[in-house]
Amino acid sequence: MNLLKTKSYINGQWVSGKSRFAVTNPYDHSLVAEVEDMSREQCRTAIQAAHDAFKIWKKYSAAEKATILKKWYDLQMEHAETLAQLLTLEQGKPLTEALGEIKYGASFVEWFAEEARRVYGDTIPGHKRNIRITTIKQPVGVVAAITPWNFPSAMITRKVAPALAAGCTVVIKPPELTPLSALALAELADQAGFPPGVINIVVSSQASEIGKEMCANPLVRKLSFTGSTRVGKILMKQSVDTVKKVSMELGGNAPFIVFDDADIDAAVQGAIASKYRNAGQTCVCTNRLFVQAGIHDAFLAKYTQAVKDLAIGNGMEEGINIGPMIEEKAVVSVEKVVKDALDKGGKLVTGGQRVGEEDSLLFAPTIIADAQRGMQVFSNEIFGPITPIFKFKTEEEVIELANDTPYGLAAYFYGKDYAKIWRVAEALEYGMVGINTGMISTTVAPFGGIKESGFGREGSKYGMDDYLEIKYMCWGGVE
């Protein structure tokens, strides 16, 4: 089966645009494919197709929806190696990471295929003798999903699987930088047997125009977005006039705290996994690493060696831990925050520069010691392979530092004192907290943040909620 598709998928058909744009490999800038560029009008057509298909799909039984979703899952697992290779070519992450993403993404399809059978209502004791009250849950309608480039496969399935299981239809806008994974999923969805119009993929270089159409179109009843807080705020404002349901998974500024009583070796490995996965280009990766004074030097020595042991290069090659960053402006951004930190007294322990040619998107895994509050690495989401290390003395001090951010997505800490663990976990103002682990993402737990990191939850039994409406029915005259 050919999974390299270059046309958009609308109403069960592969559709061309009036022009094309290039998708390139971030490792060597080679051309991967030229993809058809969709217009706002074609997005409107996709929304209409989803609206028409919703009238049919919402009537499918839970068992019927589950069967097709399970087939989609089986196809993703069957073609996991091919999907992973395609993902690495367009996004750059190491092939082992890409394969992990494919399996992680497919797990949402499997999970929500099963959850389709568990959309339960309630009976409620009536307020009068002759009244009976029931509630049912119904699909919200057409869902627009805007997904990011850092997880081009999993961020689609994490949104789309619960929407489809609930009985909604979807229109997906994948990122311009990594559209091929989305189109490959559409091909597999077509093979799985979804009716035309249930899943639509609109690939476009005109992100703003597509976003405006999704927000303004009254046929779209739910918008799900993963991306920056800045863009999320724009989309929320644009959705006001049509009063859509929205869910937002936005920026992060994750603290990673290592207390004096932590297992240093375990904390080092947890921090490495959290910080350098996908070259630090994840919304939940460690952004600020706080180490208590009593173990600071010992931790820094072991962490530095572990970082130096990471292999950087072509994600298609065996043994590579860190691939290229996604594009030139991403590298320029991390260069600026490194310079800012060093200008303000930070100490460069390792890394701090590009690897290879002048136009290389490989950036060496970096550690900056003696980091301070006034640096950009404290307040900005770095989104790159940079670890600023802050030294702290007390529990109260580090809680205040960790919470000093408008973001509230993920936080991590290592320690052994169970009373302190409870206090810290409760005090951290974040939607997700990893305790003695640097890896928290899983299908069975609710993923999402608070404060300016957004709202709504993806995955777990809660993942269906954003795609359902509760209808209350009051039965009178029951004598």
Q: Which of 43, 215, 283, 285 does the annotation list as catalytic? A: 283
- pLDDT of residue 257 exceeding 80, the answer is yes
- Report the candidate in 59, 153, 147, 160 with the shortest Cα–Cα distance to residue 109: 160
- Arithmetic mean of pLDDT, 265-284: 97
Give residue 381's pLDDT: 96
pLDDT tens digits, 103-152? 999 999 999 999 999 999 999 999 999 999 999 999 999 999 999 999 99
pLDDT tens digits, 307-331? 999 999 999 999 999 999 999 999 9
SS3 335: helix
- Report the candidate in 293, 271, 254 with the shortest Cα–Cα distance to residue 394: 293
- Arithmetic mean of pLDDT, 209-232: 98
Q: Which amino acid is at 57?
A: W
Phi-psi region of 383 (alpha: psi -120 to 50; beta: other; left: phi over 0): left
CA-based diameter of the chain, in Å?
A: 83
What's the CATH architecture for 8-250+453-473? 3-Layer(aba) Sandwich (3.40)
Please tell me the pTM assigned to this model: 0.96
Task: Name the CATH superfamily housing domain 254-442.
Answer: Aldehyde Dehydrogenase; Chain A, domain 2 (3.40.309.10)
Give residue 479's pLDDT band: very low, low, confident or very high (50, 70, 90).
Answer: confident
- pLDDT of residue 1 exceeding 80, the answer is no
Both tokens of 136, joined, read 């049912």
- pLDDT of residue 180 exceeding 80, the answer is yes
* Domain boundaries along the sequence of the chain: 8-250+453-473, 254-442
pLDDT tens digits, 238-253? 999 999 999 999 999 9
* Mean pLDDT (the chain, rounded): 97
Give residue 427's pLDDT: 98
Confirm whether 249 is a catalytic residue: yes
% of the chain at pLDDT higher than 70: 100
Q: Which of 213, 249, 381, 458 does the annotation list as catalytic? A: 249
Confirm whether 429 is a catalytic residue: no
Residue 456 backbone dihedrals phi, psi, to 5 degrees: 95, 160
